[in-house]
Structure 1
């Protein structure tokens, strides 16, 4: 098996200026592997800081959110809103397990997940298993703090204020995470060095 990283490094050293598309096409042809493998390896090398790109990135967070890399944001936002709707609208009947499942997800996972995504936006700082464990642990730490703060407000600790404040906190953390991730995900595509 050809070492793709070494082939990529060698091709960059040989050429004065190579675009991402040229680099992927030439290394894939030389190594006899699919272009997607090479593109993924280039992406990983760029994320690890092994490759530098000489052009300035385009600052466009909206395009990031509507790209494939922004899907996590929309899925988490949809789960948050679905949990709010389920807790508010389903009071009894055969749909109660849905309310319980989405309510548990909203309390035990989503706030911590949003916080972890905001704290570690690059994605390679912590492994997926650590991300899962930290999401659950931080949710168990953050949600009681929200309840403690609600205790000192006129609304108190009741269902609607707890659900609303939990959703607002999760959405705010998701938005911060999206802006931070967009900053790291911008891959300009002109010259590698």
Structure 2
């Protein structure tokens, strides 16, 4: 901006109008970017990681709910069913898709990103594929297929994929800065 003002002798108002027009046309975009020196701890506190904290919260809340609310406690058991359905049918696939197909923060790579509806469908589909695999693996362990091993295995799987997805997004954000 200083170069354009001094060397090219363009008034500041005209320069701002040109920049705003370029932004409106989608030729340039202004986004809050990470600084290369920003650590992963600082990144965890940004709004880009809200999905991670919500996912972890839902997974832990579901685990606690499953172990605290007994099957016979009539009105409260519906909370267990709703959270359990999200935990089994959505979260494993959602975190898997986030880990293996992270959204690129750059506009030119956006055509390579999955659409929202594709992400939703793939999340449900991957959950329906991952949960039986976990059950199959648990069948051949000493713990067998019981409530406790299944819930704890799905919790570990969800947290592992969510953390992998978070690290992938962090690396992509750092890479786009360069």
- TM-score normalised over the length of structure 1: 0.70
Could you say what the CA RMSD is over the residues aligned between the two structures, in angstroms? Answer: 3.3
Matched length: 156
Partner residue in 2 for 1:71: 50
Alignment of 1:31-110 (within 5 A): 41-43=29-31, 57-58=36-37, 60-91=39-70, 92-110=73-91
Partner residue in 1 for 2:128: 140
User: Aligned equivalents of 1:145 and 1:26: distance in 2?
Assistant: 62
Alignment of 1:6-21 (within 5 A): none
Partner residue in 2 for 1:30: 17
User: Aligned equivalents of 1:116 and 1:31: distance in 2?
Assistant: 39
Structure 2 alignment gaps of length 5 or more: 6-11, 105-109
Question: Does the 8 Å contact 1:111/1:142 carry over to 2?
Answer: yes
Partner residue in 1 for 2:148: 160
Question: Does the 8 Å contact 1:109/1:136 carry over to 2?
Answer: yes
The verdict on how the C-alpha distance between 1:26 and 1:109 changes in structure 2, with shifts beyond 3 A counting, is: farther
Structure 1 alignment gaps of length 5 or more: 1-10, 16-24, 47-55
SS in 2 for 1:57: coil
* Structure 1 position 122 matched with structure 2 position 110: no
Using the TM superposition, give the Cα deviation of residue 144 of structure 1 relative to its aligned residue in structure 2, in angstroms: 0.3
Higher relative contact order (CA 8 A, sep 6+): 1
User: Aligned equivalents of 1:132 and 1:83: distance in 2?
Assistant: 20
The verdict on how the C-alpha distance between 1:128 and 1:57 changes in structure 2, with shifts beyond 3 A counting, is: same
User: Aligned equivalents of 1:43 and 1:139: distance in 2?
Assistant: 33
SS in 1 for 2:142: coil
| Aligned structure 1 segments of 4 or more residues deviating by more than 4 angstroms | 25-28
Using the TM superposition, give the Cα deviation of residue 31 of structure 1 relative to its aligned residue in structure 2, in angstroms: 5.6
The verdict on how the C-alpha distance between 1:137 and 1:26 changes in structure 2, with shifts beyond 3 A counting, is: farther
